[in-house]
Amino acid sequence: MLSALWRFGWRLVLLALIALTLLQFWFFACVFYWSVYDPDTTAFMRSRLEKIREEQPDAKLQYQFVPYARISPHLKRAVIASEDAKFFQHDGFDWDGIRKAYEKNVKEGEVVAGGSTITQQLAKNLFLSGDRAFWRKAQEAAITVMIELIMDKRRILELYLNVIEWGDGVFGAEAAARHHFGVSAAQLGPEQAARLAAMVPSPRRYSPGRNTAYLERRTATILARMNGVRVP
């Protein structure tokens, strides 16, 4: 009896490992596909739309993919200055940033800092929902490695700027620029770009024209940092 249960248990483990391996191949294939083709939607977009439609059944997302050349260099610099200053130097993980975030969270006794890079955030947006779970963070790390292996930094930044959330149901630089400022992503000036970058951690808090003391301070900080950022 015990021998039969043991064999059954090992078969379940083997099947689970096979399923996990096949899942990683699927993620890898998707990353390879998106290294060339632009996504029509992402896992996070679908998750947000599902939640929005609980109150607005006919709701649609504001989203239009635009190529790298049609995104203001000010926005590229602002987002890097705000979200991932070492973006062009690291291999997907900012280990110093992760350590500092961990120390800050321990000091505060709760999660107040993340330390995620642009590549990690892209991995989450493309494939995963916003749910917090250990398995999700592990999968996010695996996808991050895949993205860095297959895509160059320009493509990673292009995808990131096109899929992140910038308002309730507002995704990507083009939709964000039009929603908040009534201009295209290519026309964003330095202060507009810095303000959009300041919204990234809490995008649904800010409707067009809304201002707060924090947003003013954060915008000014990002503007000051942008001068040291160079983008292709």
Which pLDDT does position 103 carry in this prediction? 65
Q: Report the alpha-carbon distance of residue 39 to residue 186 in Å, rounded.
A: 20
Tokens encoding 184: 């295209």
Residues of the chain with pLDDT under 70: 1-2, 4-6, 8, 101-115, 129-134
Report the share of the chain in percent with pLDDT over 70: 88
Please, what sign has the CA dihedral across residues 150, 154, 155, 156?
positive
Q: Model's pTM, two decimal places?
A: 0.89
Average model confidence (pLDDT) across the chain:
89
Which pLDDT does position 112 carry in this prediction? 42
Overall CATH class of domain 35-226? mainly alpha
Which pLDDT does position 110 carry in this prediction? 46
